[in-house]
Amino acid sequence: MDTNNLAQITFGGGCFWCVESCFNMLKGVESAISGYSGGHKDNPTYEEVCTGETGHAEVVQITYDPAIISYEQLMDVFFFLHDPTQLNRQGNDIGTQYRSVIYYNDDAEKAKAAEAIEVSKQSGRWQGTYVTELTKFDKFWPAEQYHQGYYNENPTQPYCSAVVGPKIQKFKKHFEELGMLNEE
């Protein structure tokens, strides 16, 4: 991987445990880090974000090599992993911290994100009105260390086994067939 030409993208698609785990399996992704963006408090804690009062979303910041995986491919994975038609929730996870959001770094990336939303809409994968926010990136606060790689460390935790595990299996089946996953 060419570390001189890495790019970053930050987005939220519900609980970051699942999103982070999946992106870390992709070829061309150097890291996917769980954290918080979009709020008004510096260095928020998980407990503070869970109240919904800080304005942050649970997000994943992905560092990737565009020569191996494209922005468009990352967007396809993003829209595969969550339902962009659910306002401030994903399944039973309810609150603004679970909103669908893409944080863009510049106008060119904003245009690519808007195009990715249109491509996803045209795919017919999700029925309903898309509520994915496009928001200018400001700050990213890494989540506490115990959130990093949470699923891998806690696969039998009830939420992980009931919600995250099945989503990861569906992800693996689909993206393995496309040849996008790292060798295990």
**Domain segments of the chain: what residues?**
7-178
**Predicted model pTM:** 0.94
From the candidates 15, 18, 22, 160, which is the catalytic residue?
15
Question: Among this protein's residues, is 50 annotated catalytic?
Answer: no
- Model pLDDT, residue 1: 61
Q: At what angle do helices 16-23 and 165-177 cross, to 10 degrees?
A: 30
| CB-based burial label for 52 (10 Å; 0-12, 13-18, 19+) | middle
CATH 3.30.1060.10, applies to 7-178 = yes
For 46, 51, 146, 169, the CA distances from 160, given in Å and listed in that order, are 17, 21, 14, 12
Q: What is the pLDDT of residues 37-88, one digit of tens each?
A: 999 999 999 999 999 999 999 999 999 999 999 999 999 999 999 999 999 9
